[in-house]
């Protein structure tokens, strides 16, 4: 009888723990649909991260945040990533690997890119918030875009040798999850010219890059762009999905410089890098931008994490874009007559 009671008690406890854990399991789609900032502590050996950022290797870390009114703290692995920012920034962008037996709650998130300020200080914090907004603006234009989740993050030194760094940062949706959400599959290590991608989507991408003043991208070299294709029909042309906007004029990072050979003196100077489109094609695409203008401005003005001066700068920069796209002469001059003819 005692044995039966023991077994029943054990089963009840185990099932209770399992139910509690199951309730905390993260839905990776809903995780990025949530607009509320996450308060996170990332505990790691900061000294080791700094030493390995030029030759990245995985190091252990502890990821702690509040989920569903429960404080969750789990062991994960992290690694420095990126190119320019990894070399010039104090803390580089980081990839968080949740795909471990030690992180069952966050396990469904797989591996996510963490984008953090290049250096400490409010000015750099504001830059990361503007880059976050660039992603959110593109989300309003098309679902074929990377979703992002804002964090208020504390970088805690596991050895207590360095001061805790408190900043904003954001997580970027995994490419596979983004593709699946759009009934597509990710195309890895596939290189195609933009001429051989979905024309309507490519038009939207090129116009958006012009909108935010970004020239730091290219399709044929997979430079800050991903490719996805319909999972149901592999004969369809792939869709281009842009990311990494820290070099754009909307952000205007202190370390950003224009690409060589583009004839651009400053990153805030816009340059259309798409192919010529007919006025009818442009009308359809630009209608999307005009239809979403009110939502875009509302989102920016309500984004209180960004200070009032930075919000005003963003609005002013977008005002110039909207003035341009609603001037027929400028539209023809920039996107038809002045469009490039060299492959990108």
Residue 4's pLDDT band (cuts 50, 70, 90): very low
Proportion of the chain above pLDDT 70, given as a percent? 92
pLDDT at residue 14 tops 50? no
Backbone torsions φ then ψ of 143, nearest 5 degrees: -70, -15
Cα separation of 10 and 36, whole Å? 38
pLDDT in tens, 230-262: 999 999 999 999 999 999 999 999 999 988 888
pLDDT in tens, 63-108: 999 887 889 999 999 999 877 777 888 888 999 999 999 999 999 9
Proportion of the chain above pLDDT 90, given as a percent? 76
Count of Cβ atoms closer than 10 Å to residue 61 Cβ:
23
93 and 132 Cβ atoms separated by less than 8 Å: no
Cα separation of 199 and 239, whole Å? 8
pLDDT at residue 195 tops 50? yes
Residue 5, pLDDT score: 45
pLDDT in tens, 278-331: 999 999 999 999 999 999 999 999 999 999 999 999 999 999 999 999 999 999
Cα separation of 100 and 107, whole Å? 7
Cα separations in angstroms, 224 against 125, 130, 215, 244, 315 = 22, 17, 10, 6, 25
pLDDT at residue 19 tops 60? no
Coil, strand, or helix at residue 168? strand
């Amino acid at each position: 009888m005692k044995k039966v009671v023991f077994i029943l008690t054990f089963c009840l406890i185990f099932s209770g723990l399992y139910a509690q854990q199951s309730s905390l399991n993260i839905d990776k789609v809903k995780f990025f649909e949530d607009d509320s900032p996450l308060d996170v502590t990332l505990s790691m050996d900061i000294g080791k991260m700094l030493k390995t950022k030029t030759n990245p290797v995985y190091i252990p870390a502890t990821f702690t945040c509040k989920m569903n009114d429960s404080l969750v703290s789990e062991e994960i692995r992290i690694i420095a990533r990126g190119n320019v920012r990894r070399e010039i920034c104090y803390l580089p962008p980081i990839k968080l690997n949740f795909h471990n037996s030690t992180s069952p709650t966050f396990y469904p998130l797989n591996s996510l890119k963490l984008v953090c300020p290049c250096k400490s200080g409010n000015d750099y914090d504001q830059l990361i918030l503007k880059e976050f907004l660039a992603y959110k603006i593109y989300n309003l234009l098309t679902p074929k875009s990377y979703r992002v989740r804002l964090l208020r993050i504390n970088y805690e030194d596991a050895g207590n040798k360095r001061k805790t760094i408190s900043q904003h940062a954001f997580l970027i949706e995994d490419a596979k999850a983004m593709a699946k959400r759009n009934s597509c599959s990710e195309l890895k290590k596939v290189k195609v010219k933009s001429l051989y991608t979905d024309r309507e989507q490519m038009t939207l991408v090129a116009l958006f890059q012009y909108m935010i003043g970004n020239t730091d991208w290219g399709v044929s070299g997979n430079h800050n762009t991903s490719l996805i294709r319909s999972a149901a029909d592999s004969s369809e042309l792939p869709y281009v999905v842009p990311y990494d906007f820290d070099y754009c004029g909307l952000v205007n990072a202190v370390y950003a410089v224009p690409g060589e050979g583009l004839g651009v003196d400053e990153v805030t100077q816009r340059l259309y890098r798409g192919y010529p489109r007919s006025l009818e094609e442009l009308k359809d695409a630009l209608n999307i931008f005009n239809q979403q203008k009110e939502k875009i401005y509302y989102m920016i003005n309500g984004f209180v994490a960004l200070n009032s001066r930075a919000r005003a700068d963003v609005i002013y920069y977008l005002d110039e874009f909207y003035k341009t796209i609603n001037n027929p002469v400028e539209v023809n001059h920039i996107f038809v007559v002045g469009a490039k003819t060299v492959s990108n």
